[in-house]
Chains A and B, each alone.
Chain A
Amino acid sequence: MNIVVCVKYVPDATADRQFESDNTVDRVGVDGLLSELDEYAVEQALQLKEKAGEGTETVVTALTIGPEKAVDAVRKALQMGADKAVHVSDEAIAGSDYVATSLVLAKAIEKIAADSGSPDVVMCGMASTDASGGVVPAMLAERLGLPQVTLASVVETQGDQVRVKRDGDTATEVIGGTMPLVLSVTDQSGEARYPSFKGIMAAKKKPLETWSLGDLGVDAGQVGLAAAWTTVEDTTARPPRTAGEIVKDEDGSGATALTEFLASKKFI
């Protein structure tokens, strides 16, 4: 079985995230890391491999698109246990929207397929923690002509059959599909493992390739800020909320003050 897991390098959500003057996300000035939500995808990919067992050869390839430092994202995936990694990096990609990102991911997956066999599962996170659109997996499925089984909180497989559970907006559902498919998993799917010392050492010897747009046959004019199908006109920091009134509860005074406040704002 072949599994490609798409992982994104994102600015740390707990840091002070910013935009550049051209309204693109600042991916250099702010510390980045493998998106926490994609760790769940790596975990589920590794669990699929482990479940397939020793007899079947399963290759998990971690794939990222991003600036130079984005290699950290696939390195971490290798440390967790992925077998191979691909980092697509090209100046021209900077500022790409979902459409261009999904194009480059699709082309990279096609190249991985040509080099080492078609993926049975393209695994994604539920959303990136920066853009948080949650749309790249669906776009990827559309481009690759594959079904999508998304937002899984529980993943089960039997042969080429995939069954997942998901908490929809109005119902809890069981979704089924047949490989090959695009699968995305939520942060309910199970804690991601930490890289072990052994894993960290082993990762250093695992294959890690860096591809440019040229390697993928993608024209630079198809990607990047200028080619985006959407444009950001303005980014404004939300004015910090002005600190409100804070009272200490003493012998029930807190409840009374709270009730007074709610009444003064006409919530009662």
Chain B
Amino acid sequence: MSEVLVLIDHVDGAVRKPTYELLTIAKRLGEPSAVFIGPAARAGGADGVTEKVKQYGAEKVYVVDDAQIKGYLVAPKAEVLQQIAAQALGNGGLAAILIPSSAEGKEIGARLAIKIESGLITDAVDVTADGVATQSVFAGNFTLTGKVTKGTPIITVKPNSAAPEESAGAGAVVEFAATISDAAKKAQIVASQPRQATGRPELTEAAIVVSGGRGTGGNFEPVEALADALGAAVGASRAAVDSGWMPHSFQVGQTGKTVSPQLYVANGISGAIQHRAGMQTSKTIVAVNKDEEAPIFELVDFGVVGDLHTVLPAATEQIVKRKG
């Protein structure tokens, strides 16, 4: 069976959940081969990357030590994938290359597409066994299906696109020595400040997201308290971010994160098209807004016309009580 390359999404060797979703999708298309570009020391051992991805069906794990390329942007990783793809093609064939649909992942896919003359589909929310990818476009107003028609399909896949399924893979380690051109080392990460852990679920991975907008008036406490009562991630509209109330990493929408949780609770958010773009595909939508004409109410499964500063704390109290 042909290989399917899956680029592992990780932070310093800590594998992130989208990796397992990609491996699950990869199994539909062929034989999953995970690609680890990171500190080689984190590849092995009981807690290592190999052990993790094996549990989700990785038959092979290409380990590429990033000592030489750490600190450079995108371009070296595209060269690594190009070289692994060439090897896989020579071996038993290559069915597809799956990459997490992060900003970096999309740019790696973009460079790779030109390098290996293959079509690229970005932001897929599903991929079938015959390579048909589903995308959600125009602020979630349209669903589009499409296919790569040239070369090896390169598909970037959004978080939450599949429920990770465990299945034992061989996890055969292939140490891969990539050759990186000087040209690829021209953009450098000069400094990096890891995002502070909030203690809450990751916004794009959370089952529940509770968001606040301009209507919070800058006081996010009621939003955060409700989020904590529900075990949810906290989100924000651009208006809240632009006002400096929340960091940009919390922004939901066209120029922030796209979320598709089981439950999205919008508080003091009007529901502009650019905000909808980031949350419209949520399974259940709830809004609290004091203006009954707010467009967000067109989307909701349940809405409360009221002041979030009174509704949220009271609801939080009741939820906490029910949970005991």
Contacts and interface: CB of A to CB of B under 8 A. Distances in A.
B145 A234 contact: yes
Contacts of B317: 255
A151 interface: yes
Interface stretch (A82-90, A115-123, A209-217, A224-232): A224-232
Contacts of B307: 249
Nearest to A139: B110
A102 B114 contact: yes
B28 interface: no
A64 interface: no
Interface in B105-152: 106-111, 113-115, 117-123, 132, 136-151
Interface centre among B138, B139, B230, B238, by most chain A C-beta atoms within 10 angstroms, is B138
A177 B188 contact: yes
A135 B145 contact: no
B157 to A, nearest CB: 14
Contact of B248 (A130, A153, A248): A153
Interface residues of A, number: 83
B144 A149 contact: no
A14 B141 CA distance: 12
A229 B151 contact: yes
A243 interface: yes
Contact of B111 (A141, A167, A232, A245): A141
Contacts of B148: 229-230
Nearest to B248: A167
A268 B141 CA distance: 30
A246 B297 contact: yes
B292 interface: yes
9 contacts: A149-B187, A171-B194, A173-B190, A236-B142, A244-B302, A245-B301, A246-B303, A258-B304, A262-B315
Given A176-B188, A249-B311, A261-B286, 7 more contacts: A19-B142, A99-B114, A137-B107, A175-B73, A246-B292, A249-B304, A265-B284
Interface of B: 11, 73-75, 78, 102-104, 106-111, 113-115, 117-123, 132, 136-151, 183, 186-195, 208, 230, 238, 247-249, 254-255, 262-263, 273-274, 280, 284-286, 288, 292, 297-307, 310-312, 314-315, 317-319, 322-323
